[in-house]
Chains A and B, each alone.
Chain A
Amino acid sequence: MAARDQHGAEAPWDQGFRVVGKENRKVDGLSKATGEAIYTDDIQLPGMLHAKMLRSPHPHARVLSVDTSKAEALPGVVGVLVGAELPVRYGVIPWTPDETALAVDKVRFIGDEVAAVAAVDEDTANEALDLIEVEYEVLDAILDPEQALVTPEPPIHEDRKRRDNISKHVELEFGDVAAQVEDADVVIEGDYTFHSTTHAAIEPHCAVAQPNSDGRITLWSSTQITHYVHRALARVLELDPARIRVIQPCLGGGFGGKSDPFSLEFVVAQLALKTGRPVKMLWTREEVFYAHRGRHPMKMHYRTTAKADGTITGVDAKLLIDGGSYSSFGLVTTYYSGQLLTGPYAFPNYRFDSTRVFTNRPPNGPKRGHGSVQPRFAFEIQLDEVAEQLSIDPIEIRRRNFLGEHTETVNGQRVTSNGFMQCLEEVEKASDWRERRGKLPFGRGLGVAGSMYISGTNYPVYPNKMPQAGVQLKIDRSGLVTVFTGGNDIGQGSNSMVAYLVAEELGIKVEHVKVVAADTDLCPVDLGAYSSRVTFMVGNAAIDGARKLRKQIVEAVAKNWEVEPRDVRLMDGTVVDLSAEARSMTHVEAFHLAEEMFDTLGSTGAYNTPTLGGDYRGGTIGSSPAYSFTAHVADVEVDTETGRITVNKVWVAHDCGRALNPMIVRGQMEGSTYMGAAEVSLESHHLNRFGLHAGPSLLDYRIPTSVDTPELEALIVESIDPEGPFGAKEAGEGPLHSTIPAIANAVFDAVGIRLRHLPFTPAKVLAALRAKEEQA
């Protein structure tokens, strides 16, 4: 099954790429542009009930009783659900199942789910919520991670082995960092803060469940990981998974915010089973803010040691991670916070000590650049400080510490292709860095930063040896090829990518490929849209499946023409004979010949990562079959009177291996960079003194409008990875990372202040400017 061995990065036919590398339209673009595409909330079923959730008003409390009798008596209420009816715990990471669909014994943050009602319409369901009587015993709330660290009592989760509020602790050392301090020419040490931010996909979470008369149930959900929802549903509903079908309709954005199984999915399914009617739950924007799973706030301490020539000798990190109220992906987050820092620079000594704690805040989870955006922010500022102290150009110091390609990181991760040097060169050139950096008038500046990210992880969330990605192909006599994939297209364009790869491999036109995705009844398992794994893994699986079919088609045509298989070439839907005779046929005719010869045509394709990772506990977490690399240069302006930072422009160069569709890659790079820039000074998932989200709306959580977004220029770098699908790697998360430190470093160039604590509000900028004046 080591499908990766078979592909190679070259075009499958001798005429070069016909589909890959071209700016093809997306397979679903027009359906989205015309309003035809169906998203979860667009599904309306006859007799459908509307469900609403009752939520906790307390950040921490014991649920003593829930009385739903009055709600049940309200005309129009059809079903009511309480925690005791769905007591089975779940969690996306199988080792830390600490969530229940509805509170069983405790609530752990304001907004935690307590009960649910299904009624004939939303108004009635809301009315019923008000009639549910809940008796709480209010407990002390822990809202601050520092406090969580030193406060074992009351434990937010009571029945774990440890009786404290530590969710996960990881400490790993490679080499000897302490020993470097003495020999170092420069030691930079400092504290950094990354605040809380959230995904804010424009589509709110929604789920619809339909019970079938044969005892089966279908769930449509706005999830980015159908497979884990499927597993979790079977577990919590205590149903045979073969009786459950999970479908992801068109998804209105995810960014990691739709990766966990969410309470609404269990609740609508159970209410549907209970009432025998279809049930929909659509969360309000406010509820989405409570569901959260946003970027983990981190308090970070870094010490970097370097030689006079700028070579880094050691990095020592201590991180405190605010997990919020549940584990979610927290185990992985804790590892990622250390494991993913070990490129694009080589450093021989590295230590990290990461602690994730529980607090009574909405749970944190994976947001675009899971676990590694925060450390990257801190470290890239430190690197800038090293450069400053040594009077080395910030781009130059990054070059000097380049990790190299086809190598291994200090923590034992195998790195294949690496286009980071070219990324630096691209942004240096495009931004006119040499002419402008350090030479702009006071108030304006340029900053650079670099980063690395995974293209999928070889750590499957639950241990198994089956493929991480699978596809199935079916050929129709019409000439249409249907590809079935469990992969989740969440807007990133993975269905289009599958269509391009299959079309390329079979030598047909993209319009002759149809992709059916993310339906557990129809599609082979894929682990879902997270960790930037879909292009790499599903892409490889798609090529694998298509290649098998291609062999059959070529063989059938060769036999018919009585030529060697190597003389048969498929191109744009036409089969040509490369031997002397000039003849051809359509791909449809070729399909017919193949079907005559091999019977009904179909194939499967699969991908699994090679064995990777360091030989130590946790060594596989963060190991990826390939890494992407990014460099950003930001051009900023600081108004020294208002403290406002305006980012004029960001250049982003990203090594995506091969751009299967440069237009889509640019879109990912621009979208990532936009999202990173937004985290610098605008966005903050902020709780007030009561532990209540201060402004759970798209008005008060300020995501940038068009006029707040810097000019973005995407520069694609193609290192052609030996194992990626035709050489491709990820482009969806990597290009976020270094946006933030590049802006921080540009602010330093502009006005000479080092900002280390996000968000960079105008007030903080003013305070720093004032402090600097006082020093001078």
Chain B
Amino acid sequence: MRVFRLHVNGDPVEVAAPEHWTLLEVLRYQLGLTGSKQGCDKGDCGACTVLVDGTPTLSCLSLAATVEDQQITTIEGLLPAHRAAGGEGADPLQESFDESGALQCGFCQPGMILSAKALLAENPDPSAAEIKESLAGNLCRCTGYTQIYEAVLAAAKADMHAAISTDSAKEVQS
């Protein structure tokens, strides 16, 4: 057992777990954050994707002992962060995945949404090809990916609108 000092979804957490456990195990079975899924447990599927310092990372291949100083974001963190920033509902990406019908069984989707989240943070206006490439490590067996692309594009557009309207709001204010 080792006490891990993690930073999960903005919270500092101390959690005891066997030293050889992966981040995925600690998140799911010790912290109860079961939104991160396991489909292969060895790097092949992307279901366990979380953000480590904003970067999509496979939690099944990360030792909990090697991410202690970093900021971990799981799927459970998006909605509260969105609310904390004054938003309504869920994160715009989560909303657009729902609106586009991209969520079938949903098992790949926490990982998928986090990969998309990182993409949009880096590139708010991605092309279809860029979306495809950035999701190429997240296997989905249900959708054929099409509605997932639609969801990401829609979210990017909504974000742009939001950005434009806040910009213009700022302009109006100043």
Direct contact of A and B (CB under 8 A): yes
Q: A29-B103, A285-B41, A705-B136 are in contact. Are A200 and B74 (CB under 8 A)?
A: no
B 1-44 contacts with A by CB, 8 A: 18, 28-29, 32-44
Cβ–Cβ < 8 Å partners of B94 in chain A: 30, 33-34
- The stretch of B63-71, B107-115, B165-173 in contact with A is B107-115
* B90 and A284 within 8 A (CB): no
* A34 and B76 within 8 A (CB): yes
Cβ–Cβ < 8 Å partners of B78 in chain A: 34
Assembled-state Cα–Cα distance A33/B47 (Å): 13
Is B141 interfacial (CB 8 A cutoff)? yes
Is A66 interfacial (CB 8 A cutoff)? no
* B141 and A253 within 8 A (CB): yes
Is B53 interfacial (CB 8 A cutoff)? no
Q: A667-B101, A712-B144 are in contact. Are A203 and B139 (CB under 8 A)?
A: no
Chain B residue at minimal CB-CB distance from A32: B106
Q: A25-B99, A33-B98, A34-B76 are in contact. Are A200 and B141 (CB under 8 A)?
A: yes
Tell which of A25, A41, A491, A673 touches B104, judged by Cβ atoms closer than 8 Å: A491
Q: A29-B103, A285-B39 are in contact. Are A35 and B145 (CB under 8 A)?
A: no
Cβ–Cβ < 8 Å partners of A252 in chain B: 37, 39, 105-107
Is B100 interfacial (CB 8 A cutoff)? yes
| Complex interface bits, A483-497 against B, C-beta within 8 A gives 1, otherwise 0 | 000000011110000
Assembled-state Cα–Cα distance A490/B141 (Å): 12
Chain B residue at minimal CB-CB distance from A39: B107
* B144 and A35 within 8 A (CB): no
A 160-200 contacts with B by CB, 8 A: 199-200
Interface centre among A32, A36, A285, A699 (most CB of B within 10 A): A32
* A203 and B35 within 8 A (CB): no
Tell which of B75, B108, B146 touches A670, judged by Cβ atoms closer than 8 Å: B146
Cβ–Cβ < 8 Å partners of A673 in chain B: 144
* A202 and B75 within 8 A (CB): no
* B141 and A202 within 8 A (CB): yes
Q: A25-B98, A703-B141 are in contact. Are A203 and B39 (CB under 8 A)?
A: yes
Is B58 interfacial (CB 8 A cutoff)? no
* B40 and A671 within 8 A (CB): no
A 655-714 contacts with B by CB, 8 A: 663-664, 666-667, 670-675, 697-699, 703, 705-707, 709, 711-712, 714
| Shortest distance between the CB of A652 and any CB in chain B (Å) | 10
Cβ–Cβ < 8 Å partners of A674 in chain B: 143-145
* B139 and A703 within 8 A (CB): yes
B 52-104 contacts with A by CB, 8 A: 74-76, 78-79, 90, 94-95, 97-104
Is chain B's binding surface mostly helix, strand, loop or mixed?
A: loop
Is A38 interfacial (CB 8 A cutoff)? yes
Tell which of B76, B107, B148 touches A203, judged by Cβ atoms closer than 8 Å: B107
State the total of A-B contacts with C-beta under 8 angstroms.
180
Is A250 interfacial (CB 8 A cutoff)? yes
* A33 and B100 within 8 A (CB): no
Assembled-state Cα–Cα distance A705/B143 (Å): 11
Cβ–Cβ < 8 Å partners of B132 in chain A: 706-707
Chain A residue at minimal CB-CB distance from B79: A34
* A664 and B101 within 8 A (CB): yes
Q: A44-B29, A707-B133, A712-B144 are in contact. Are A201 and B107 (CB under 8 A)?
A: yes
Tell which of B33, B39, B79, B104 touches A698, judged by Cβ atoms closer than 8 Å: B39
* A253 and B137 within 8 A (CB): no
Is A79 interfacial (CB 8 A cutoff)? no
| Shortest distance between the CB of B105 and any CB in chain A (Å) | 3
Assembled-state Cα–Cα distance A705/B78 (Å): 25
* A42 and B101 within 8 A (CB): no
Cβ–Cβ < 8 Å partners of B35 in chain A: 34-36
Is B135 interfacial (CB 8 A cutoff)? yes
* B139 and A667 within 8 A (CB): no
Cβ–Cβ < 8 Å partners of B36 in chain A: 35
Cβ–Cβ < 8 Å partners of B95 in chain A: 30, 33
Tell which of B29, B100, B139, B149 touches A705, judged by Cβ atoms closer than 8 Å: B139
* B143 and A671 within 8 A (CB): yes
B 120-150 contacts with A by CB, 8 A: 132-133, 135-149
* B101 and A666 within 8 A (CB): yes
Is A26 interfacial (CB 8 A cutoff)? yes
Is A251 interfacial (CB 8 A cutoff)? yes
Q: A30-B94, A34-B79 are in contact. Are A666 and B105 (CB under 8 A)?
A: no
Shortest 4 CB-CB distances between A and B: which pairs? A35-B35, A491-B105, A32-B106, A674-B144
**Can you list 28 residue pairs at the A/B interface with Cβ under 8 Å?**
A28-B103, A30-B98, A32-B106, A32-B109, A33-B90, A33-B97, A33-B109, A44-B29, A123-B18, A200-B141, A202-B47, A203-B39, A203-B105, A203-B107, A253-B104, A253-B107, A666-B147, A667-B102, A667-B142, A670-B143, A670-B144, A674-B145, A675-B144, A697-B44, A698-B40, A703-B141, A705-B136, A709-B144
